[in-house]
A = this chain, B = another copy of it.
Amino acid sequence: MNPEAKVPAFPQVAAVAQSGPAHSVDRIMAVAYELFSTRGVRDVGVNELIERSGVAKATFYRHFPSKDSLVFAFLEQRDKQWTMDGILLEARRRGSTPQEQLLAIFDVFGDWFLREDFEACSFVRVMLEMGPAHPLGQASIEYLAKIRGHVQAVAEEAGLVNPEEFARSLLILMKGSVIQAVEGDTLAAERARQMAVWLMEHHRG
């Protein structure tokens, strides 16, 4: 056969050119992060994932033994990239005292709610999508508990009384404001911040 007849295909070189010489697993993760975070888990199929990342199906399943394992990896990256670097670290940067840093969470939320690609907290979304008994729901619950642990640590720095109770109450405000922002209430962060102020006053003793 004429070898030239087989050469011209390979549309995936375009995808490689777009995302650089990254390895397959990196491209898969980048596509998964975008699709899962904006559209949820169940709405995104494996076929779409491999098509958008320019990767063969066998390659996908060599790196991830199942779709669920990719979702686990996504949740972990979401925790690092979004929760830790995007929200908590940014909030610590904006406030000079632990009290200010706790309230700054809602300032970061306010900016986040205005973004066009804002969709919802992936952990809450996956927990509701898969149910709290599903392994993926369990993982989401653990990541939410991890956020609460960080809030509790800052509350302890601030010298608040009953920091665990404070953290649990603050996470009610965080989750509630996110849900309300999905509905279109972009000012939900300000309202939650005000309630956080009152909550903090009652935990100063």
Size of interface on A: residues with Cβ below 8 Å to B: 40
A172 pairs with B188, CB closer than 8 A: yes
A129 pairs with B127, CB closer than 8 A: no
Question: What B residues does A199 contact at CB under 8 A?
Answer: 195, 198
Please encode chain A, from 86 to 120, with 1 for each CB lying within 8 Å of some chain B CB and 0 for all others: 00000000000000000000000000000000011
Q: Does A73 contact B (CB under 8 A)?
A: no
Chain A at the B interface: mostly helix, strand, loop or mixed?
helix
Q: Does A131 contact B (CB under 8 A)?
A: yes
B40 pairs with A183, CB closer than 8 A: no
Residue of B124, B145, B182 near A132 (CB, 8 A) is B182
A182 pairs with B127, CB closer than 8 A: yes
Chain B nearest Cβ from A105, distance in angstroms = 14
Q: What is A's interface to B at a CB cutoff of 8 Å?
A: 39-40, 42, 119-120, 124-125, 127-129, 131-132, 141, 144-145, 165, 168-169, 171-177, 179-180, 182-185, 187-188, 191-192, 194-195, 198-199, 202
B172 pairs with A180, CB closer than 8 A: yes
List 11 A-B residue pairs with CB atoms under 8 Å apart, sorted by A's residue number.
A119-B131, A128-B182, A132-B184, A168-B185, A168-B188, A168-B191, A169-B194, A172-B180, A172-B195, A175-B176, A198-B199
